[in-house]
Amino acid sequence: MLFWIIVISLLIFIGLILYWQLIVAEGAYLGAPLVALLYDWTAERYNKIKDFEPEAEDFWVGEPLAQRLRHQPQATILDVATGTGRIPLDLLRQPSFRGRVIGLDRASKMLDVARRDLAAHTDRVSLVQADAMALPFASGSFPTVTCMEALEFLPNPTGGLAELIRVLQPASPKQSQGGWLLTTQRIGWEARLMPGKTWNQDQLLKILSCFPLQRIEIQIWQDIYNLVWAQKVEGCLADKFNLDK
Ligand SMILES: C[S@@+](CC[C@H](N)C(=O)[O-])C[C@H]1O[C@@H](n2cnc3c(N)ncnc32)[C@H](O)[C@@H]1O
Mean pLDDT, contiguous 10-residue spans, the chain (245 residues) = 94 96 95 98 98 98 97 95 98 97 98 98 98 98 98 98 98 85 97 97 97 97 97 71 39
* Ligand 1 contact, 157 CB (< 6 A): no
* Dist. CA 73 → ligand 1 center (Å): 26
* Dist. CA 234 → ligand 1 center (Å): 28
Residues near 163 by beta carbon (within 8 Å), at least 6 away in sequence: 80, 132, 133, 134, 135, 243
CATH topology for 32-40+50-241 is: Rossmann fold (3.40.50)
* Dist. CA 150 → ligand 1 center (Å): 5
The confidence score (pLDDT) of residue 174 equals 73
* Dist. CA 5 → ligand 1 center (Å): 40
Answer yes or no: are the C-beta atoms of 61 and 101 closer than 8 Å: no
* Ligand 1 contact, 224 CB (< 6 A): no
Distance between CA atoms of 230 and 175, rounded to whole angstroms? 16
* Ligand 1 contact, 131 CB (< 6 A): yes
From the number of C-beta atoms within 10 Å of its C-beta (0-12, 13-18, 19+), residue 18 rates as exposed
The confidence score (pLDDT) of residue 238 equals 47
* Ligand 1 contact, 28 CB (< 6 A): no
Take atom 4 of ligand 1 and give the residue whose Cα is closest. Answer: 83
Antiparallel, parallel or unpaired: β 180-186 and 225-232: antiparallel
pTM here is 0.94
Distance between CA atoms of 72 and 177, rounded to whole angstroms? 8
The confidence score (pLDDT) of residue 243 equals 39
Angle formed at CA 183 by CA 177 and CA 185, multiple of 5 degrees: 140
Question: Pocket of ligand 1, candidates 153, 154, 164: which has the most ligand atoms within 8 Å of its Cβ, to mutate?
Answer: 153
